[in-house]
């Protein structure tokens, strides 16, 4: 018997049930629609932990999470969506691949609503839970005591009320979370100090402290980030903005190397709505040397393409080649 076994043998039966060896602790990861971001996260977002995705408007944070839900559902997992912004659109969700008839949906207007719904869903064994967004939740200070009636605005000025309530809520969620992939979405806010103004997610320090992964998404509204393509309108071809370039930054991670950055294309019009998985895979394969690039020509296996657009079109059309490139990226 090893020294470790001797220690374990002296524990009470009740305590022994809650004690494991470090080698017995495991968690699973959920891939994302961006192969580059998935690789940066060592395979995806971890189950049984909280992840925070935050950033500016127009960065497609909710849409990324909807695609994560769709991918989880495709693997047979259950998913729930807590809507604090009252912005859920089932048509848009279905266009991103979500099975809305299998998605559990709940509205929450207060931090307490979110915490109660979240802990109940996790106790029931939900696999994926998304809160969209914690920035829209009202703390208890906004309400009359033991009532859902809102106070007058001048009676709600309490410094740190949002952070205090959210701090308690994330503690409750963390306590209840045994196997769920919990994703909190947050808008960005200006944190003003005596020296400078800094962009931060909402929810206070507790939200960041309990997050195993923190990802910031960004896309400016400038024309430089816009993706234009020619679309057929009647008998004419016209240039239309069909998407945006999204920049991502893994600001913190307990389960993968932090401080990694990248970008992917996101389409809101056309035939390939959402994160351009094929285009992102092509860019990653070029970076890793799986697809060779010489000038404007790309060589993928035995196929050659002139220009990035033709390479991506070729991978979309050839599922066997796509699978081969995907396997090559995973094995590197």
Domain with CATH 3.30.250.10 in the chain: 276-332
Rounded to whole angstroms, how far apart are CA atoms 127 and 100? 15
In the chain the first and final C-alpha atoms are separated, in Å, by 40
**What is the pLDDT, as a whole number, of residue 57?**
86
Sign of CA dihedral 164, 136, 187, 273: positive
Q: Please, are residues 172 and 119 in contact by the beta-carbon 8 Å criterion? A: yes
The segment(s) of the chain belonging to CATH 3.40.50.300 are: 25-268
Is this structure's pTM higher than 0.85? yes
Structure confidence at residue 192 (pLDDT) = 63
Q: What is the dihedral of CA 52, 56, 59, 61, to 10 degrees?
A: 30
Q: Strands 181-192 and 49-55: what pairing?
A: parallel
Measuring CA to CA, how many Å separate 73 from each of 23, 45, 79, 174, 246? 29, 15, 7, 23, 24
Handedness of CA 146, 152, 157, 161 (dihedral sign): positive
Q: Which CATH architecture has domain 276-332?
A: 2-Layer Sandwich (3.30)
pLDDT in tens, 59-89: 999 999 999 999 999 999 999 999 999 999 9
Residues of the chain with pLDDT under 70: 144-148, 153-163, 192-197
H helices of 26-78, in order, are: 35-40, 61-74
Question: What is the structure's pLDDT at 197?
Answer: 67
Alpha-carbon distance of 200 to 190, in angstroms, equals: 6
CATH 1.10.10.10 fits 25-268, yes or no: no
Give the pLDDT of residue 161: 62
pLDDT tens profile 211-247: 999 999 998 777 778 898 877 777 888 888 899 999 9
pLDDT, position 150:
72
């Amino acid at each position: 018997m090893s020294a470790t076994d001797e220690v374990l043998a002296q524990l009470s039966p009740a305590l022994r049930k809650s004690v494991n060896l470090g080698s017995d602790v495991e968690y699973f990861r959920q891939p994302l629609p961006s192969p580059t971001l998935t690789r940066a996260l060592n395979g995806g977002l971890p189950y049984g932990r909280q992840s925070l995705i935050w950033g500016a408007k127009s960065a497609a944070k909710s849409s990324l999470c909807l695609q994560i839900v769709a991918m989880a559902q495709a693997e047979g997992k259950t998913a729930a969506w807590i809507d604090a912004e009252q912005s859920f659109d089932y048509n848009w969700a279905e266009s991103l691949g979500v099975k809305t008839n299998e998605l559990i949906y709940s509205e929450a207007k207060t931090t307490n609503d979110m915490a109660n719904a979240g802990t109940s869903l996790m106790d029931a064994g939900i696999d994926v839970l998304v809160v969209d967004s914690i920035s829209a939740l009202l703390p208890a200070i906004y309400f009359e005591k033991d009532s859902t009636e809102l106070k007058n605005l001048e009676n709600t000025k309490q410094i740190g009320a949002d952070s205090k309530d959210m701090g308690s809520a994330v503690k409750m969620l963390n306590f209840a979370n045994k196997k769920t992939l919990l994703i909190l979405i947050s808008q960005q806010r200006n944190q003003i100090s005596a020296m400078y103004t800094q962009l931060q997610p909402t929810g206070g320090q507790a939200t960041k402290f309990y997050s195993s992964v923190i990802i910031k998404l960004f896309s400016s509204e400038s024309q430089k980030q816009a993706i234009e393509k020619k679309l057929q309108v009647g008998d004419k071809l016209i240039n239309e903005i069909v998407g945006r370039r999204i920049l991502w930054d893994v600001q913190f991670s307990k389960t993968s190397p932090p401080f990694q950055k990248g970008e992917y294309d996101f389409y809101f019009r056309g035939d390939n709505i959402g994160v351009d998985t094929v285009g992102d895979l092509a860019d990653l394969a070029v970076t890793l040397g799986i697809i060779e690039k010489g000038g404007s020509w790309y060589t993928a296996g035995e196929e050659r393409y002139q220009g990035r657009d033709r390479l991506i079109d070729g991978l979309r059309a050839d599922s066997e080649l796509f699978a081969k490139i995907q396997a090559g990226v995973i094995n590197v």
